Amino acid sequence: MSNTGDRNEGALIMSSRSAVVTVPDYPPVQTDEEGNAILPSNFLPAMVDKLPDDWFIQTFNYFPYFDRNQRDRNGEVYVPPSLRTANTANVKKWKELAVRIFDKSFKDEGRYHYGLEIGRMSEADGHKCEGRKNARRCETPDLAQKVLFEQVAPALIKEDKLGELVSYAWKWFHVPNLEGNNGWVKYGLQQFFTLHDARVILADEMMAKQRVHSIATLFKKYGTQSSIRTFKTNQMKNWKFVVEVNKYRKNDGLFPEAGEGENWSAHNIEGYLTDKI
């Protein structure tokens, strides 16, 4: 605890924000047996508001798989003649749709499913975290934080059970954010694409130097980053210490160098964790 507050191969394009974004060389669109487009693991190298116009040109053939208006009577993808050419007007339509799908609603869905996962974790520990209007589980991380700080923590701090408190903080808020914990992310993305009637799935095969699909990475990032930041602020406000998960002891067993007014303490939380964690 502390008491302180790949690039892929392709053309380098300058975005409107003067940041260099790599636009990959995408292969021809491949589909699964159900007609869903298989999105390559580098499909979304950055959020859409940071992508250059060239990205929308190179991914134009994926447009009909996201556009619920490009369907036949059976719900199968059908591209009308007017949208079959990647001209300026059609690329603009694809960009408008992509921005609408992958912007605020994408971020909100990630945060929602992160809240659901935290609610599941808290419920497994016997601490009910109701959602709004008595929903079965939390649907926002803020509600789970309310349970931890107002219901769980006071008694543990009073009894000097900091190890147990640290275990709750780590399990509920940090474990879902670990790279290998993507079950809730995959489920959330499936629900997100269904909500938008997008006929797409994520490729299982990762491109060079990638361990997680780019869409899953962004979904988790925008679903958790603001909540983790708020959680850290609330820890300092309520507990006067912060649970750090990215700090390591040195090879000689010593703690990281502490800053002014800072000190470290270690807590063995193994006894509070299940083998699934």
**C-alpha separations of 119 from 130, 164, 222 in Å:** 8, 18, 18
3-state secondary structure 144-199: HHHHHHHHHHHHHHHCCCHHHHHHHHHHHHHHHHCCCCCHHHHHHHHHHHHHCCCC
Q: Mapping DSSP to helix (H, G, I), strand (E, B) and coil, where does residue 38 land?
A: strand
Residue 272: phi and psi, rounded to 5, are -100, 0
Residues 6 or more apart in contact with residue 68 via CB below 8 angstroms: 196, 197, 198
pLDDT reported for residue 9: 35
What are the residues whose beta carbons fall under 8 Å from the beta carbon of 197, sequence distance 6 or more? 68, 71
pLDDT score, position 135 = 65
Distance CA(267)–CA(156), nearest Å, equals: 14
> Residue 113 has what pLDDT?
94
pTM of the predicted model, to two decimals? 0.84
Tens digit of pLDDT per residue, the chain (277 long)? 655 433 333 333 333 344 578 899 999 999 999 999 999 999 999 999 899 999 999 999 999 999 999 999 999 999 999 999 999 999 999 999 999 999 989 999 999 999 999 988 888 888 887 777 766 667 788 888 999 999 999 999 999 999 999 999 999 999 999 888 899 999 999 999 999 999 999 999 998 788 999 999 999 999 999 999 999 999 999 999 999 887 788 888 888 888 888 889 888 888 888 877 7
The β-bridge partners of 12 are 22
- Three-class SS of residue 21? strand
Amino acid at 141: P
